[in-house]
Amino acid sequence: MAWTAPAVERGDFPTSGGERASLEEYLDFHRATLMLKCGGLTGEQLASRPLPTTGLTLLGLVRHLAENERWWFRRRFGKQDTLGDLYCSEEHPDGDFDLGTAAGAQEDFAVYAREVELARQTTRDRSLDEEFPGRDGTLTLRWAYLHMIEEYARHNGHADLLREAIDGSTGE
């Protein structure tokens, strides 16, 4: 039997809470939205390129966001400089998007879940005002949360279109 992405219960859109709780809840909401868009699809469907105008795949989005979780929370904010990229290289700078396969989908989802958990561990009990170096100046953990919320929101829009093209599912 072919592996399928697990179904996800996302919960309601966050509506209240302090700044830290709101940032974490919004990011978790968007993480769950991506998984919701993938839920119930096979590795073949996740790796398919259903839209003729783009090479994007749902699996590529999962891999890309795993790479971003690692990059912003662990490598940059957590200063774990020895961590390498998950999927990208000099030879394949877009390996996160381009090199995903149906056969590797289950492992890619496990990598994604692991990176999300490690990101949570890295940021737990750390100040939103804690700084780390950015390309053009100093950034804060608050900035990283906001950036990741934006990153997920943008790519969840892509996921909506991809999912609808695969099996007609819309909404949520």
What pLDDT digit, counting tens, does each position of 17-65 carry?
A: 899 999 999 999 999 999 999 999 999 999 999 999 999 999 999 999 9
The reported pTM is 0.96
Pairwise CA distance, residues 155 & 148, whole Å? 10
Give the tokens for residue 168.
């007609």
**Confidence at 12, pLDDT banded by 50, 70, 90:** confident
Give the tokens for residue 16.
């209240």
pLDDT of amino acid 55: 94
> Using alpha carbons only, what angle is made at residue 117 by residues 82 and 61, rounded to the nearest 5 degrees?
85
Q: What is the helix, strand, coil percentage profile of the chain, to 5?
A: 55, 5, 35
Average pLDDT rounded to a whole number, residues 110-136 = 97
Give the tokens for residue 1.
């039997």
Contact between 77 and 68 (Cβ < 8 Å): no
